[in-house]
Amino acid sequence: MARIVMKFGGTSVADIERIANAAARVKREVEAGNEVAVVVSAMAGATNQLVGYVDQTSRMYDAREYDAVVASGEQVTAGLMALRLQEMGVAARSWLGWQIPLKTDEVHGKARIEEIGTDNLDPRLSNGEVAVIAGFQGVSPRGRITTLGRGGSDTTAVALAAALKAERCDIYTDVDGVYTTDPRIVSKARKLARISHEEMLEMASLGAKVLQTRSVELAMNHGVRLQVLSSFDDKPGTLVVDEDEIVEQQVVSGIAYSRDEAKVTLVKVADKPGVAASVFGPLADAAVNVDMIVQSVASDGVRTDMTFTVAKTDLERAVAVLEKNRAAIEYEQLIQDADVVKISVIGVGMRSHAGVAQTMFRTLADKGINIQVISTSEIKISTLVAEEYTELAIRALHTAYGLDAA
């Protein structure tokens, strides 16, 4: 007998029929002798609608009330799922964040989980009752409802799996696993049987939208075995596991991309101590996240160009901040470009293999694609290129790293 967490995303609980389908899967696991905690998202589209209601009501909204509104979608599906299970003869009870309790900090709209009490759930699970938990929500130290950021139900599921010491955490979604890259772009993309936590973390933060980044981080830190699978068929999904569990390691496991990038170049800033601080300090103060950075060497020994990327949604704010600080930074010209994409190749095998970056540069060069910015870490190489080359670049790289399905 094992204890498991089953998480159903919005598309898997999109209507009454799909909730019944998900409930049937839960029943199967219960009948196999497992103790089951279920985490549900809101019905597909429900959270967007709720966010819309808030936006239409208040422009500079009170984040506590935003949370009160948007957390409600999960309350509906938790109750419906519990009812459906009861109809099927399975003992079940719904749980909201405050009832568990799932305690968070006070950062409304993007709260972090601090502690999950298990005294309420433990005895009921041991008694064979299914706990149906509303994902995405928690309770603040002041007793107010919080939400964990968009996609946060994944994080609820993983945190719960860690707290309940579950054997595994199954994430049911509308794709049947994690692919080597976006199958909508590369028809020869392959489903991965296994991927390491670390690679998944890079994939998620670099644009693959299967799992919320924070949930992968949690899974990695707590050693939670994740499985990503479809609720619409019975095929095995992708296991997200510890690196040691992966026997045959590919050098590159996947290619991720993000169109949510914009590039800013400051032309002819002074090449002297303190310049980077004068640029990135005010940006940080304005909560603009800077990602890739390049600074060239001053050819005249005095002035240099500095290029960096920010999220597309932050571009306007970043430009405003830089213009305001123009006198202090002393740049000649500011060039912005929102038509860029960041393409990243990811693989733990890079640690022990040389030439991975060279393959990327060569492949892009052969296609006549200019690389604007490069950044690397231990297990990934990212390049920034013009957005129009997104498909071409990803397809060429997928082939170059031997990832194409036979």
Q: In terms of CB distance, is 138 or 151 closer to Mg ion? A: 151
Is position 151 an interface residue for Mg ion (rule: CB under 5 A)? Answer: yes
d(CA 4, CA 159) in angstroms, rounded, equals: 12
Q: Which is nearer to Mg ion, 174 or 404 (CB)?
A: 174
Which phi and psi (to 5°) does residue 304 adopt?
A: -145, 165
Rounded distance between C-alpha atoms, residue 192 and residue 399, angstroms? 16
Least distance CB 42 / ligand ASP (angstroms): 4
Tell which residue, 98, 48, 55, 110, has the closest CA to residue 73.
48
90 binds, among ligand ASP, Mg ion, none (CB under 5 to 8 A by kind): none
Q: Cα(375)–Cα(285) distance, rounded to whole angstroms?
A: 24
Q: Is 347 in the site for Mg ion (CB under 5 A)?
A: no
Q: Tell me the C-alpha distance between 389 and 369, whole Å.
A: 7
* Nearest approach, Cβ of residue 232 and ligand ASP (Å): 17
42: partner contacted, choices ligand ASP, Mg ion, none (Cβ within 5-8 A by kind): ligand ASP
Q: How far is the CB of 156 from Mg ion (least distance, A)?
A: 11
Q: Among residues 109 and 281, whose Cβ is nearest to ligand ASP?
A: 109
Q: Does residue 4 contact residue 170 with C-beta atoms inside 8 Å?
A: yes
Least distance (Å) between residue 154 CB and Mg ion: 6
Residue 233 burial (C-beta neighbours within 10 Å; 0-12, 13-18, 19+) = exposed
- Answer with the entry of ligand ASP, Mg ion, none that 104 interacts with (C-beta below 5 to 8 A by kind): none
| Token pair 């013009």 in the structure block, residue | 386
How far apart (Å, rounded) are the C-alpha atoms in residues 47 and 140? 20
Shortest Cβ contact with Mg ion: which residue?
A: 151
Give which of Mg ion, ligand ASP, none residue 152 binds (C-beta under 5 to 8 Å, depending on kind): ligand ASP
Nearest to 345 by CA among 181, 117, 136, 114: 181
State the binding partner of 136 from Mg ion, ligand ASP, none, CB within 5 to 8 A by kind.
ligand ASP
Minimal distance, residue 39 CB to ligand ASP, in Å: 9
Q: Is residue 73 a contact point for Mg ion (CB under 5 A)?
A: no
- Which residue number, 206 or 384, has a Cβ lying nearer to Mg ion? 206
Residues 2-31 within binding reach of Mg ion (CB under 5 A): 9
178 or 279: CB nearest Mg ion: 178
Query: H-helix or E-strand containing 46?
Result: helix 46-57
Pairing of strands 145-147, 102-104: unpaired
Distance CA 89, CA 81 (A): 13
Instruction: Give the interface with ligand ASP as residue ranges (CB under 6 A).
Output: 9-10, 41-42, 47, 73, 135-136, 150-154
- Contact of residue 254 among Mg ion, ligand ASP, none (CB under 5-8 Å per partner type): none
State the first-to-last Cα distance of the chain, in angstroms, to the nearest integer.
39
From the CB of 253, what's the least distance to ligand ASP, in Å?
A: 25
Nearer to Mg ion, 9 or 97 (CB): 9
Of residues 103 and 214, the one with the C-beta less far from ligand ASP: 214
Half-sphere exposure at residue 247, Cβ-oriented, CA atoms within 13 angstroms: 1
The smaller minimum CB distance to ligand ASP, of residues 210 and 396, is found at 210
Residues that bind Mg ion (CB under 5 A): 9, 151
